[in-house]
Amino acid sequence: MTIPASTVPLAKLYLFNQITTLVNDAAVLVSYDQPGPNQPDDIIMIGAVDRQVVPYQMVGSGGAGWLDETYTIAVSVEVYRGGDDARTAFERACVLADTVVAAVRGDPSLGGAVVVAHPAQVRYAPAWEEKHLGRIVEVVVDVACRARI
């Protein structure tokens, strides 16, 4: 009896690959998880996952098709612009967040990894950088996923 694995790694990899392809800009760092210390002004990070698993139907063996897996993948966009131009930073963050949404909407199965995925929530958080030398805008796109395993 083969017990199916979680679809989370496949879904994250799909998002990483698709977003990298859609962005197609060497000035933007697309990171599978938290980026390292070398960080450009524009970053997209495929990050935290919140996963729940519940029984779908009674399968005596506990094998394939027994569980419904639902999870949210948080994809963070962070944009920094020096100075006091809040609008430029915010608009750039919106463009990159829309790219994340387009990656999901372009194939809601995330390359066949899940039954369905969709952008569930988008949160915008503009702020000053800690020394007030520029503006930072963080946008978190929550991608909701459902799979049967």
In tens, the pLDDT along 26-79 reads 999 999 999 999 899 999 999 999 999 998 877 667 778 889 999 999 999 999
Residue 135: pLDDT over 70: yes
Q: Specify the length of the chain in residues.
A: 149
Confidence label for 12 from pLDDT (cuts 50, 70 and 90): very high
Confidence label for 101 from pLDDT (cuts 50, 70 and 90): very high
The confidence score (pLDDT) of residue 3 equals 84
Q: Angle between the 86-106 and 8-23 helix axes, to the nearest 10 degrees?
A: 120
Render pLDDT for 121-134 as a digit per residue (tens, 0 to 9): 999 999 999 999 99
The confidence score (pLDDT) of residue 15 equals 98
Cα 5 to Cα 38: distance, rounded to the nearest angstrom: 34
Average pLDDT, integer, range 91-104: 98
Please report the domains of the chain, with CATH numbers, ordered by start residue.
13-128+135-148 (3.30.2000.30)
Residue 20: pLDDT over 80: yes
Looking at every residue in the chain, the average pLDDT score rounds to 95
Confidence label for 2 from pLDDT (cuts 50, 70 and 90): confident
The confidence score (pLDDT) of residue 64 equals 81
The confidence score (pLDDT) of residue 97 equals 98
Phi first, then psi, for residue 116 (nearest 5°) are -155, 145
Provide the whole-model pTM. 0.92
For the chain, how big is the Rg over CA atoms in Å?
18
Q: Smallest Cα–Cα separation from 85: which of 129, 45, 124, 43?
A: 129
Q: Smallest Cα–Cα separation from 135: which of 77, 80, 76?
A: 80
Cα 113 to Cα 105: distance, rounded to the nearest angstrom: 14
**Which residue bears the tokens 């094998």?**
63
